[in-house]
Structure 1
């Protein structure tokens, strides 16, 4: 008995799965009979097993629409006296099966049937015998779209049902690619350059407000574990309590993005040669430091931009531009502030988040009742959400191709911030290591190119599988393998793995001389032939002109340059306080 019941449930699930696979999105093109406004497309959900729809609008018949929504068309008594000759009737959903409705409509001369639904659209299913009997298309149209049709075109309209083919990839992927790769490259470059400038500024005694910068946060393995646990917990909580927590995430995004926007624009404002006046003397918190008025105006501007997005976040026509701008600023600020001190920490973070991403995209569909991925469900917003809010922690660009999927279900293409930040932290580490070993940014460029290739592979997988993809599944191997292979080829894997003491970059006493038997940092063939002493920094040309010159470097006494102290960062050994030791 139990076996029979199990088989029955399995058969029912198979039938339901078949109906879902057969279900497709289509379009109904509506125009006014009186020659009013321009025609408009609306989303429909149809089952091609009833009747196929043409792929081209020019091949679809433009027929008169009959408003019969006051009836559910479940019995012959619901038919009009003259029938639906060469018309497409609009009928209400409920009280009988789709087959009973379409059979009555076809018998009265209808050329198609649109069932108006106030509930979420479901595929109009049936069995094989019913499919063979019916020869007109039947589709579901939302009640909200029907109200828009009557408001836009009045009630005398014509409509054509068609289903254009979905493109393999939308052109908006080019925009997302440029934004993502550009953010990773700019953030990684900024993080490395800022770190070098910070160490150079240790020679300065000026610690005024303009010279102070936000301290970088070194990530430890414990912090990585805590972060991943928090991510998992928040994702699960959002899946079960989406409508309550989505506003918390929106508030956090507004605060974090305004801070990031200020951090990105502040260096540009500081370079302006005018408006340097300061706040008068006062005893207020923060203002007692007498900040410049232009920085206060910039802070107000950043908060205003964030508030404008928060108020108009659901305006699909233009709000996505503000969201992307704020999101890019937030990513740049995070890449500048969060620092992975070693390649070991990079590997741990990327591998753990790699497993996290794959699990919540590919494994969770087998654990949820709906069979949907938790990651995709949360990122796109649950279909049964009462608030219809979307999480802002993504870059989003509207689809540029006209397609049923774009009209009905996914008007935007998305890329999560995690798919930018996680590989971006590795790119930033590569740039800092480049500066440390003077390798002409070869690690930075290679890792950035690897990120771009991984993103292209993600887009290809998305086009082939036609479902949401965990981008880290492709980005993590591309960036990690490329960085590791390059370090191995350059014979710097040990230094690259440990960061060569970069995480413990503490100021050293000026009177400690450098040892003579330490390992020499590698110098590329395209760099200068003269080895810089360990106390010297190779600084970018963009440093301010007012920086004081470096202390004079003593002449070498032998053929070899003085080497660094063991255990100190390469190229960052303490400066000698007196003449060189003759024994060296």
Structure 2
């Protein structure tokens, strides 16, 4: 296994060295103002300066009607002190660049309709060639011809890319904030629901969604479904991506409704209900304000669905809907024990590593299935991206902003999976009256794990499986804290919290001869049912099952 990982790292590093992104700055003669276009070059042919002012401005020779694979395609005057721009064709990069260099060219731009791959060669060919060669997309070539015609000049350069972009700060704050708020909300709501379980009214608490307790079988089924869907997306991306977009729109609108619902309920108007009807959703006669909230959330989700490819502002809607979706999932899904938390996080830890680091050894092109699916295959005919990520545009000036990588991404799974553990820690804190020490420690551990992920990203300059760093940080921190506080057994099983607590007082049966002033209980119509109810109250409470969070003496939530 270690040898396989070593070979994989070596292969990835070689791929990184072979190709680098740069810029081709086009302008008209005598004018300093121009436009940058993304290029992909191999520094082993010839390097490029990092500063535009140090790059030579040379006349472009538009030869896009040719592939420059034979001497007959070279014009009679040659390419003296010019940079020819040719189509890719079927011959090797070496044959093209050799013809260009022999005929006086100072560089070579190769227009490609396919994905930009590094123009490779062998060591002997690298030593023979001393002019830069770079690939340019066909779409950019059409824009260049339209904007500058055939009389433009070009300067090729490769500006230094910053190690980390400022947008990482925004992603960090969004991720840690979502985990902290979601874990706090989920824990508080779950405990409050347990304490108020005996009430039978039409309050807002009763109208909230039910939580789903995750079992080991559900975890196994979930992981199998994740693996299957990831593989299916890798092979049938163009057919399934629209299904994922539709599911996201539906789930995000429900999540946004769930997050805004507590605030809308505080609005002092719109409490009246709609008239009786037989419509699918409205037959329960929802309040006017809740119906308007449903319409608003649906409209926001549909707006993103229609304008999802507007890179300048659609990412704001996607991140808003994504955060709402994560909060909704953290509030709805409940891990009942630390044992279940450990199982889920460890299994997904292995899943993340396998699909990022091991699958390149199994695919024909040596690509990672996880990275290909998350970023969207470069050869996809739809050019759609999966929406299950937080995305923030790059804020630093970088070639990546022009090279189809203008965003930094963080998957929802890197928020939800550790967030479920944070929610469990908060529930445990409330029951044990531990001043939320588990919740705060696990949240801080999540933030530290995310920082380590960013550092690894900067050092390795490649996509990282965030769970590789987040799972050990959160799990080990929670485990160490439970050991230090000598609460590991209770923390592991989620039960046994009332072992040393006094039992609640037994309510004595109410006599039928008592007057209303003497009785502390409400009178009932049937004395026999009253006596039966009182006898049930005098019985010992049933033992707690694994994963149950018990009530305290007063039976009230914090």
- For the criterion TM > 0.5, the same-fold answer is yes
Query: Superposed, which structure 2 residues align to 1:422-461 within 5 Å?
Result: 422-461=417-456
In 1, are the aligned partners of 2:442 and 2:474 still within 8 Å (CA)? yes
- Alignment of structure 1 residues 394-433 onto 2, 5 Å: 394-433=389-428
Change (3 A) 1:16 1:113: farther
| Structure-2 residue corresponding to 1:332 | 327
Q: Distance in 2 between matches of 1:222 and 1:211?
A: 28
| Equivalent of 2:19 in 23, 34, 45 | 23
Match of 1:359 among 330, 347, 354: 354
Change (3 A) 1:203 1:159: same
- Alpha-carbon distance between aligned partners in 1 of 2:132 and 2:23, rounded to the nearest angstrom: 12
8 A contact 1:24–1:48 mirrored in 2: yes
Moved more, 424-433 or 119-128: 119-128
1:295 aligns with 2:295: no
Cα distance change, pair 385–132 in 1 and its aligned pair in 2 (3 A): same
Measured in 2, the distance between the counterparts of 1:534 and 1:153 equals: 84
2:491 & 2:361 partners in 1: Cα distance?
40
Query: Residue 189 of structure 2 is aligned with which of 185, 194, 200?
Result: 194
Q: C-alpha offsets along residues 512-552 of structure 1, whole Å, 9 cap, x if unaligned?
A: xxxxxx6225xxxxxxxxxx97589xxxxxxxxxxxxx99x
Q: Given that residues 533 and 571 in structure 1 are in contact (C-alpha distance below 8 angstroms), is that contact kept between their aligned partners in structure 2?
A: no
8 Å CA contact 1:34–1:156 kept in 2: the answer is no
* 3-state SS of paired residue (1:267): helix
Distance change >3 Å, CA 412–CA 207, structure 1 → 2:
same
SS at match of 1:328: helix
Instruction: Tell me the residue number matched to 1:164.
Output: 159
Q: Which residue of 520, 532, 551 corresponds with 1:572? A: 551
Output the CA distance in 2 between the equivalents of 1:68 and 1:266. 62
Q: 1:219 to 1:17 in 2, by over 3 A?
A: closer
Cα distance in structure 1, aligned partners of 2:12 and 2:247: 40
Alignment of 1:482-521 (within 5 A): 482-500=477-495, 519-520=499-500
CA contact (8 A) 2:194 2:551 kept: no
Deviation of 1:465 (Å): 1.5
Q: Which whole-Å CA distance do the structure 2 matches of 1:16 and 1:468 have between them?
A: 11
Structure 2 contact 111–138 (Cα < 8 Å) conserved: yes
Alignment partner of 1:123 out of 118, 122, 145: 118
Q: How many residues align?
A: 512
Distance in 2, matches of 1:39 and 1:88, equals 17
Corresponding residue SS for 2:39: strand
Structure 1 residue 32, shift from structure 2 partner: 2.9
Instruction: Give the C-alpha shift of residue 217 in structure 1.
Output: 0.6
Greater RCO (CA < 8 Å, at least 6 residues apart) = 2
What does residue 240 of structure 1 align with?
Answer: 235
Following superposition, the deviation at residue 292 of structure 1 comes to 1.0
* 1:205 to partner: Cα distance: 3.8
Looking at structure 2, the residues matched to 296 and 258 of structure 1 have their Cα atoms a distance apart, in angstroms, of 13
- The answer on whether the counterparts of 2:60 and 2:84 sit within 8 Å (CA) in structure 1 is yes
Give the alignment partner of residue 276 of structure 2, picking from 275, 281, 306. 281
Distance 1:273 1:143 in 2: 58
1:462-481 alpha-carbon deviations (Å, 9 max, x no partner): 11122211111111111111
Tell me, which stretches of 5 or more residues in structure 1 are unaligned?
Answer: 1-13, 503-517, 522-531, 537-549, 552-563, 577-584
Structure 2: state its 5+ residue gaps: 1-9, 507-519, 522-539
Once the two structures are overlaid, the 10-residue window that deviates more, 397-406 or 300-309, is: 397-406
Cα shift at 1:95: 4.8
Alignment check: 8 A CA contact 1:185 1:427 kept: yes
Contact 1:25 1:405 in 2 (8 A): yes
- Superposition map of 1:458-473 within 5 A: 458-473=453-468
